[in-house]
Amino acid sequence: MPINKNANMRLNFATLSAVDLKELLLTSDATIHTNLLQAARLKALKHFQNKIYIRGLIEFTNYCKNDCYYCGIRCSNTKAERYRLTKEEILACCRNGYELGFRTFVLQGGEDAYFSDKAMIAIISAIKTAHPDCAITLSIGERSLSSYKAMFAAGADRYLLRHETVTPSHYALLHPPTLSLANRLNCLENLKKIGYQVGTGFMVGSPFQTIDNLIEDLLFIRRFNPQMIGIGPFIPHHDTPFRDKNSGTLQQTLRLIAMLRLMLPKALIPATTALGTIDPCGREQGILAGANVVMPNLSPVMVRSKYSLYDNKICTGEEAAECINCLKERIRKIGYEIVVDRGDYRA
Ligand code: SAH
C-alpha cells in the first residue's frame, strides 16, 4: 500500500504490515515525517494529556560480568572505575527523590553478582517500607526465574530489559557468545508471566543494524506488547570495540518513537538520556514525537560520570534537584508538565 502524505493518522498501526512499516521508516518525504510525529504526539495527548511521568534513576553499580561490545561498563573495560552504592546510599537517593516528587525509583546496574537475591530483597523491602506509595523498577539484566520471582515478591513492580535486537545474527554482532537472544527473550517472558510491568526496547543505529532488523524489532514489540518501551540512539564509548562507530540519529530515533507510540498508544515511552545526549533538545523532541516519560538521574554526583555506558552523557555534574528543575522548565516550555504520580500502565 503506498503511504500518501496525509494518510499517517488514518493508518492502523495495530495491523500495519512489515512492508508498510518499512516504507514509513525509509521515506525521505519531510511531510510524511512531520505528519507521523504529529500523529504520535496527538495520540499521546489523547491518552495522557500533557502529563509527563518521571522516574528517578539510581545507577547503583557499574560492576558487570558481561562484555557487550557497545557498553562502556563491559567487564573488559579495565579503565572503568568501578563502584557500588550501599543500601543506605540507595535509600538516601530515594529520600532525596521522594522530596523532589518522584514516586518511581529505577534501580539500574551492570550484572553484578555482589547484588545477590538476598541483597536485592533487602534493598527492595527497605525502599518499600520507607516509601510504600512508590513503585520500584529494576534494570539489572538477566537473572533466573526464581530470582525474578523473589524480587517481585519483595515488592519490585516493574522491570526494564531491552531485547536490544530481535535478529539473532545481529544480536551475535553486538554481544559475546556467552549471551544469547534466546535467553534474553526467555527472561522477558518470565518477567511478564510473574506479573511485572515489563519494558523492552533497543538502540537506534547500533552497529550493523539494518532497516530490516528495525522492522523486526517493531514487529516484536507489537507482538510482545510491553507496558514500557525504551529506545535511544546508540552512542559510541571510547573504551569499547565500537569506539569508531557512528551514533544513531535524532530523526530516526524520533521517527521510531512516533511509530511505537502509534503501535502501542498506552505504552510508557521515555525520552531517554541518550536522546538528550545527541541533541541539546533531544528529550523535548522525543516528547513532541509521542514519548511521555523522562528519567532524571538520582545517583550521587560522585558516581555519575563512572556510570558511563557511552560518551558525553548529559547531567553528570548536577545534583538531582538541579536536574529536575531544569527538566521541569524545559518541559513547561513545550507545553507539558511533570506530575507527581507513580505513572502505572493503564490498560
Ligand atoms: N545491565 C542492564 C542495564 C543495562 S544499561 C541490562 O542488561 O539490562 C541500559 C541500556 O543502555 C542497555 O539495555 C542498552 O540498550 C543501553 N546502552 C548500553 N550501551 C549503550 C551505548 N553505547 N549507547 C546507547 N545506549 C547504550
Cβ of 255 below 6 Å from ligand 1 = no
Q: What integer pLDDT is reported at residue 9 of this predicted model?
A: 59
- Report which protein residue has its CA nearest ligand 1's atom 1: 110
Closest residue by Cα to residue 300 from 91, 89, 120, 99: 89
Q: Is the minimum distance from the CB of 71 to ligand 1 under 6 angstroms?
A: yes
Q: 3-state class of 168 per DSSP?
A: helix
Place of cell 530489559: 161
Residues 6+ apart with CB under 8 A from 271: 257, 282, 283, 284, 285, 286, 287, 291, 293, 294
Which residue blocks in the chain are alpha helix, DSSP H?
Answer: 18-26, 30-48, 87-99, 117-130, 145-153, 168-174, 181-194, 211-224, 250-263, 273-278, 282-288, 301-304, 320-333
Atom 11 of ligand 1, residue of closest alpha carbon = 309
List of residues 6+ apart from 172 with CB closer than 8 A = none
What DSSP line would sit under 250-305, residue for residue? HHHHHHHHHHHHHHSTT-B-B--HHHHHHSTTHHHHHHHTT--EE--B-S-HHHHT
By C-alpha distance, which of 153, 130, 136 is closest to 55? 136
pLDDT (tens digit per residue) in 120-160: 999 999 999 999 999 999 999 999 999 999 999 999 999 99
309 within ligand 1 shell (Cβ under 6 A): yes
70 lines ligand 1 (CB under 6 A): yes
Q: Burial of 284 by CB count in 10 Å (0-12 exposed, 13-18 middle, 19+ buried)?
A: buried
* Buried residues in 176-200 as b, exposed as e (16+ CB within 10 A): eeebebeebbebbebbbebebbbbb
Q: Is 270 in the pocket of ligand 1 (CB under 6 A)?
A: no
**Mean pLDDT, contiguous 10-residue spans, the chain (347 residues):** 58 95 96 96 98 98 98 98 98 98 98 98 98 98 98 98 98 98 98 98 98 98 98 98 98 98 98 97 98 97 96 93 94 98 96
Supply the pLDDT for residue 3. Answer: 61
- Closest approach atom of ligand 1 to CA 236: 22
pLDDT digits (tens, 9 = 90+) for 154-192: 999 999 999 999 999 999 999 999 999 999 999 999 999
268 within 8 A of 308, measured Cβ to Cβ = no
Asked if residue 157 lies in contact with residue 135, where contact means CB atoms within 8 angstroms, the answer is yes
274 pocket-lining for ligand 1 (C-beta < 6 Å): yes
**CA 297 → CA 82, 97, 121, 155, distances in Å?**
18, 9, 22, 22
Cα(105)–Cα(59) distance, integer angstroms: 10
Compute the distance from residue 249 Cα to the ligand 1 centre, in Å. Answer: 17
Q: What is the pLDDT of residue 6?
A: 60
Retrieve residue 54's grid coordinates.
518521571
Q: What separation in Å is there between the alpha carbon of 239 and the centre of ligand 1?
A: 15
Ligand 1 in contact with 237 (CB < 6 A)? yes
Q: What structural domains and CATH numbers belong to the chain?
A: 40-339 (3.20.20.70)
Ligand 1 centroid–CA 241 distance in Å is 15
Q: Is the CB of 162 under 6 A from ligand 1?
A: yes
Q: Is residue 115 within 6 Å of ligand 1 at its C-beta? A: no
